[in-house]
């Protein structure tokens, strides 16, 4: 049980290749952000602008997928993965998620609405939760018309973090996938499966007094579209 | 209270009002040029003007030697040579960072290797790529805030005034809820250092009621182990590992508990597993090598010592033990030439009399174990001559090793003298007395040994009693003088050192502050700390000593008042 499946050489090779790819994607995404941020803005009518915005969206997807693949390969949720819960002000969590999404949302003229308790502190693995929320926001960009809302509330001793949009809602196949993942089935059959699976593993790692975190997908949220919910004990 | 933002740009920006990040000096370390440019752009966006860059650990060291940076952003994977953690370790050990400096460790992914630095050389924060300005600024502000909160505590810690530092932790928790867990963790560490395991246990237990923190559970195990309940400690460490297989500290502790239980084979197995999980720790590879050597597992010892030397090459934690251990391995494999080459390398790379002495002992052991008794005897003779020339004796472990070798090659008087020295300096340590008796037994000197041990103990007791009698009968100045002489004759005897420090403090309490006595008392206590850290009496004496410093609060009530005052004071920028 101590050994990695497959040869260690192959694992080392894959890991270093992924490092390399992540560096390249970081540079791609960062450069696109700078261009979009310092560029003329969508209202100037430059035809390249929406295309660049879409490139940024795709870059984010790639980057998220790589991060999640690597984390899952390292068995997130298993004892070999470094899980580090810390006390984090919810305000700072929101700052970081919104900061990551800012340029992409601006370039696509999507408003991000934020609702959170100003002075609440919570204990969780900050990098993992930021990863899950940023991915949920990025996913909502695909479904929304022009609004995304990140709502964080404390309810019955749980922290509930929800990303909602005003699009058409999730297709039935995804709602089903979300429910299956929620039951703990190892589900990885369509393109959205990886993100959901990662999110559910992250949720499950968070435990407090025998209560574990969870995720769920809903339709008809506050903006009438889809809603991704992560609860943390 | 709920805050709602509905803006086109969406983001409530991080609060930068309290720190001037623009005027700080920055160093970016990454082997990937595109990332360096991107990070520089991010830093420029938060106003930074002074930014240097390095593409390797070596280049970073050169720059760190030249400039005191306020912020270092260092990638963990730096290609060939040092990795980010090793750069940090070296910068810390060589004092290239000022206390207010911030070190952010960057990595492409969250892996066990990249977030598992040596406990004493942790970066201030870890950041996962891609790094955005929002994340960077939030983490910088948080680290800065935390450093302010810990400033007084760290200062007291450096002065080894652990009890005062622990009180300061409580004072800060009331003010800064966000750092409560870190402050409580620090408080428990301080209480352990101060020799107050029961109070530390209470802190850990309260934290564990909230959440399963690995370090708290491991801390409880350490307390059990220190109390001699080795089996209970073993079970606790095992439990932590079952829950969290990456938590490497628990492996090292489990190995220590198994060693104390006499289960050397199991300890070796645990260290082997830990070394597989996290191979880049010099102390761990050294423990593995030494344990394997003791068990006679030459192959494993060789592997561990080789790795130890290889990683040590770039690390400040480089140790002569690996060279000496590897020489023993070569000796056991019959490669005397290689063993001698390693011993020469050890003496060349680690200058100092102690290393010369230990190399000489190892040389004798190598000859003896390989069956070259003539050369082993020659090494013994040289050591004997050395002991006659040099009256100062090395640490207990080295004395015992030397005595063992000298007996083995047939020398009589010198090892007896060494062992008597060990007993005089540890006259109330039953475990050590037993070990020394066994060495006498092995040398077929069991009865004589018993007498030597009794005589050495008697001598130490008489010296001690005379000093205490002088003190108790009011002849304080004479007592101080007597203990001064006693320290020369029994330089490593803990009880003499403690009593000597106590009398010096008592002298100042009665006759007023005296700088020479203060320096003397401080020196005695620091020597005690070097011999065996974490003694309750040490912490108590340091606290008494600190109170004598002019301008410091004189009573516990005054200290509390001082701490109360600190609560209200906002830390200066």
Confidence of residue A3 (pLDDT cuts 50, 70, 90): very low
Interface test with A, best of B108, B111, B133, B272 (most A CBs within 10 A): B108
Range with lowest mean pLDDT among B109-123, B327-341, B356-370: B109-123
Inter-axis angle of helices B264-277 and B298-312, to 10 degrees? 40
pLDDT at B54: 95
Task: Give the nearest chain B residue to A131 (CA atoms).
Answer: B128
pLDDT at B119: 58
| Higher pLDDT pick, B2 / B110 | B110
Reported as a single tens digit per residue, the pLDDT across A204-216 is 889 888 899 999 9
Sign of the CA dihedral running A20, A25, A31, A37: negative
Confidence of residue A43 (pLDDT cuts 50, 70, 90): low
Task: Give the nearest chain B residue to A15 (CA atoms).
Answer: B109
Residue A51: enclosing H or E segment and its boundaries? Answer: helix A48-73
Q: Report whether B534 contacts B193 (CB < 8 A).
A: yes
Task: Give the nearest chain B residue to A26 (CA atoms).
Answer: B130
Task: Give the nearest chain B residue to A121 (CA atoms).
Answer: B178
- Find residue A88's DSSP bridge partners: A122
CA angle, B400 then B401 then B404, to 5°: 85
Which residues on A lie below 8 Å from B2 (Cβ)? Answer: 115-118, 153
Q: Looking at the predicted structure, is the pLDDT value of residue A49 above 80?
A: yes
pLDDT at B277: 74
Distance to chain B for A138, nearest Cα, Å: 14
Phi, psi of A98 (to 5 degrees): -65, -35
pTM for this structure? 0.73
Nearest-angstrom CA–CA distance, B147 and B176? 12
Task: Give the nearest chain A residue to B244 (CA atoms).
Answer: A79
8 Å CB contact of B245 and A78 = yes
Reported as a single tens digit per residue, the pLDDT across B289-321 is 999 988 889 999 999 999 888 877 766 678 899
Q: Report whether B38 contacts A30 (CB < 8 A).
A: yes
Q: Looking at the predicted structure, is the pLDDT value of residue B496 above 70?
A: yes
Nearest-angstrom CA–CA distance, B117 and B93? 14
Specify the 3-state DSSP secondary structure of B537. Answer: helix
Which residues on A lie below 8 Å from B246 (Cβ)? Answer: 79-82
Which residues are within 8 A (CB) of A191 and not within 5 positions of it... i.e. 6 or more apart?
none
Sign of the CA dihedral running B516, B518, B519, B520: positive
Which residues on B lie below 8 Å from A31 (Cβ)? Answer: 38
8 Å CB contact of B178 and A19 = no
Mean pLDDT value of segment A117-127:
92
Interface test with A, best of B134, B137, B249 (most A CBs within 10 A): B134
8 Å CB contact of A2 and B273 = yes
| Higher pLDDT pick, A178 / B424 | B424
Inter-axis angle of helices B413-425 and B373-389, to 10 degrees? 50
Confidence of residue B118 (pLDDT cuts 50, 70, 90): low
* HEC-encoded secondary structure of B278-319: CCCCHHHHHHHHHHHHHHCCHHHHHHHHHHHHHHHCCCCCCC
Nearest to B35 among A27, A89, A105 (CB): A27
8 Å CB contact of B14 and A99 = yes
Nearest to B110 among A30, A82, A111 (CB): A82
pLDDT at B82: 80
* HEC-encoded secondary structure of A70-138: HHHHCCCCCCCCCCCCEEEEHHHHHHHHHHHHHHHHHHCCCEEEEEEECCCEEEECHHHHHHHHHHHHH
First to last CA, chain A: 30
Task: Give the nearest chain A residue to B114 (CA atoms).
Answer: A82
Q: Looking at the predicted structure, is the pLDDT value of residue A191 above 60?
A: no
Nearest to A82 among B34, B115, B276 (CB): B115
| Higher pLDDT pick, B332 / B235 | B235
- Find residue B126's DSSP bridge partners: B105
Beta strand B25-29 with B50-54 is: parallel
Q: Looking at the predicted structure, is the pLDDT value of residue A186 above 60?
A: no
Q: Looking at the predicted structure, is the pLDDT value of residue A187 above 70?
A: no
Distance to chain B for A67, nearest Cα, Å: 7
Which residues on B lie below 8 Å from A34 (Cβ)? Answer: 41
Q: What is the mean pLDDT of chain B?
A: 86
pLDDT at A44: 64
In chain B, what percentage of residues exceed pLDDT 90?
Answer: 47
8 Å CB contact of B32 and A23 = yes
Nearest to B138 among A70, A95, A128 (CB): A95
Distance to chain B for A61, nearest Cα, Å: 13
Confidence of residue B573 (pLDDT cuts 50, 70, 90): very low
Distance to chain B for A113, nearest Cα, Å: 4
Task: Give the nearest chain B residue to A33 (CA atoms).
Answer: B132
Residue B304 tokens read as 């561990």
pLDDT at B453: 94
pLDDT at B327: 94
Which residues are within 8 A (CB) of B329 and not within 5 positions of it... i.e. 6 or more apart?
B293, B298, B301, B302, B305
Which residues are within 8 A (CB) of B397 and not within 5 positions of it... i.e. 6 or more apart?
none
Instruction: State the DSSP code for A4.
Output: P
Which residues are within 8 A (CB) of B475 and not within 5 positions of it... i.e. 6 or more apart?
none
Inter-axis angle of helices B320-332 and B353-369, to 10 degrees? 10
Distance to chain B for A186, nearest Cα, Å: 21
- What is the count of residue pairs from A and B with beta carbons less than 8 Å apart? 168
| Higher pLDDT pick, B159 / A185 | B159
Q: Looking at the predicted structure, is the pLDDT value of residue A192 above 80?
A: no
8 Å CB contact of B179 and A87 = yes
Mean pLDDT value of segment B257-286:
87
8 Å CB contact of A22 and B109 = yes
Q: Report whether B331 contacts B369 (CB < 8 A).
A: yes
Reported as a single tens digit per residue, the pLDDT across B444-475 is 999 999 999 999 999 999 999 999 999 999 89
In chain A, what percentage of residues exceed pLDDT 70?
Answer: 83
Confidence of residue A11 (pLDDT cuts 50, 70, 90): low
Distance to chain A for B192, nearest Cα, Å: 23
């Amino acid at each position: 049980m101590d050994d990695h499946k497959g040869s260690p050489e192959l694992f080392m090779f894959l890991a270093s290749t992924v490092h390399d790819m992540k560096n390249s994607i970081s540079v791609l995404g960062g450069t696109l952000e700078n261009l979009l941020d310092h560029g003329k803005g969508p209202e100037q009518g430059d035809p390249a602008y929406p295309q660049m915005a879409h490139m940024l969206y795709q870059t984010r997807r790639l980057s998220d997928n790589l991060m999640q693949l690597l984390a899952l390969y390292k068995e997130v949720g298993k004892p070999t993965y470094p899980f580090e819960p810390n006390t984090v002000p919810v305000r700072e969590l929101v700052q970081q998620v919104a900061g990551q999404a800012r340029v992409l949302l601006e370039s696509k003229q999507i408003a991000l609405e934020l609702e959170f308790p100003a002075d609440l502190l919570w204990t969780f693995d900050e990098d993992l939760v930021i990863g899950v929320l940023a991915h949920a926001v990025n996913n909502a960009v695909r479904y929304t018309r022009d609004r995304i809302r990140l709502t964080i509330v404390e309810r019955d001793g749980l922290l509930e973090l929800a990303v909602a949009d005003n699009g058409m809602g999730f297709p039935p196949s995804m709602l089903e996938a979300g429910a299956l993942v929620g039951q703990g089935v190892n589900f990885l059959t369509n393109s959205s499966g990886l993100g959901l699976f990662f999110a559910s593993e992250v949720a499950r790692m968070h435990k407090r007094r025998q209560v574990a975190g969870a995720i769920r997908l809903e339709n008809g949220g506050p903006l009438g579209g889809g809603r991704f919910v992560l609860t943390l004990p | 209270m709920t805050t709602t933002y509905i803006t086109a740009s969406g983001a409530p920006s991080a609060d930068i009002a309290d720190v001037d990040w623009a005027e700080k000096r920055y160093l970016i370390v990454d082997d990937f040029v595109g990332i360096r440019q991107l990070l520089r752009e991010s830093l420029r966006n938060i106003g930074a003007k002074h930014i240097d860059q390095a593409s390797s650990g070596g280049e970073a060291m050169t720059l760190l030697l030249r400039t005191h940076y306020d912020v270092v952003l260092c990638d963990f994977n730096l290609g060939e040579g040092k990795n980010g953690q090793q750069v940090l370790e070296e910068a810390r050990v060589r004092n290239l960072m000022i206390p207010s400096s911030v070190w952010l460790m960057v990595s492409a992914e969250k892996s066990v290797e990249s977030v598992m630095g040596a406990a004493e050389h942790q970066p201030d924060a870890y950041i996962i790529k891609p790094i955005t300005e929002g994340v960077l600024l939030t983490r910088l502000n948080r680290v800065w805030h935390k450093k302010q909160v810990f400033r007084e505590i760290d200062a007291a810690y450096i002065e080894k005034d652990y009890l005062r530092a622990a009180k300061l932790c409580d004072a800060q928790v009331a003010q800064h809820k966000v750092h409560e867990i870190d402050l409580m963790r620090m408080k428990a560490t301080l209480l352990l250092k101060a020799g107050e395991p029961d109070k530390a246990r209470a802190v850990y237990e309260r934290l564990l009621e909230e959440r399963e923190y690995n370090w708290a559970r491991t801390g409880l195990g350490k307390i059990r182990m220190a109390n001699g309940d080795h089996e209970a400690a073993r079970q606790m460490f095992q439990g932590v590992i079952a829950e969290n297989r990456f938590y490497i500290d628990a492996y090292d502790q489990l190995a220590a508990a198994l060693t104390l239980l006499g289960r050397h084979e199991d300890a070796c197995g645990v260290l082997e597993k830990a070394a597989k999980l996290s191979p880049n720790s010099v102390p761990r590879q050294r423990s593995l090598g030494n344990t394997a050597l003791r068990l006679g597992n030459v192959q494993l010892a060789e592997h561990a010592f080789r790795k130890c030397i290889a990683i040590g090459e770039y690390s400040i934690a480089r140790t002569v033990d690996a060279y000496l251990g590897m020489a023993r391995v070569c000796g056991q494999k019959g490669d005397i030439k290689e063993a001698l080459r390693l011993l020469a390398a050890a003496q060349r790379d680690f200058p100092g009399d102690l290393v010369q002495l230990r190399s000489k002992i190892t040389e004798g052991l190598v000859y003896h174990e390989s069956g070259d008794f003539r050369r082993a005897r020659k090494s013994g003779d040289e050591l004997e001559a050395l002991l006659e020339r040099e009256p100062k004796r090395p640490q207990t472990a080295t004395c015992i090793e030397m005595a063992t070798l000298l007996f083995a090659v047939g020398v009589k008087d010198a090892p007896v003298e060494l062992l008597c020295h060990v007993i005089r300096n540890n006259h109330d340590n039953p475990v050590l007395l037993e070990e020394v008796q066994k060495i006498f037994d092995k040398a077929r000197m069991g009865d004589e040994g018993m007498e030597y041990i009794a005589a050495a103990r008697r001598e130490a007791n008489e010296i001690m009693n005379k000093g205490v009698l002088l003190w108790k009968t009011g002849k304080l100045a004479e007592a101080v003088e007597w203990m001064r002489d006693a320290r020369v004759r029994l330089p490593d005897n803990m009880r003499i050192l403690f009593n000597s420090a106590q009398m010096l403090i008592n002298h100042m309490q009665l006759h007023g502050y005296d700088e020479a006595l203060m320096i003397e008392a401080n020196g005695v206590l620091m020597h005690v700390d070097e011999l065996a850290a974490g003694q309750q009496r040490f912490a108590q004496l340091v606290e008494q000593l600190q109170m004598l410093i002019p301008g410091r609060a004189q009573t516990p009530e005054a200290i509390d008042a001082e701490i109360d005052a600190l609560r209200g004071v906002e830390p200066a920028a």
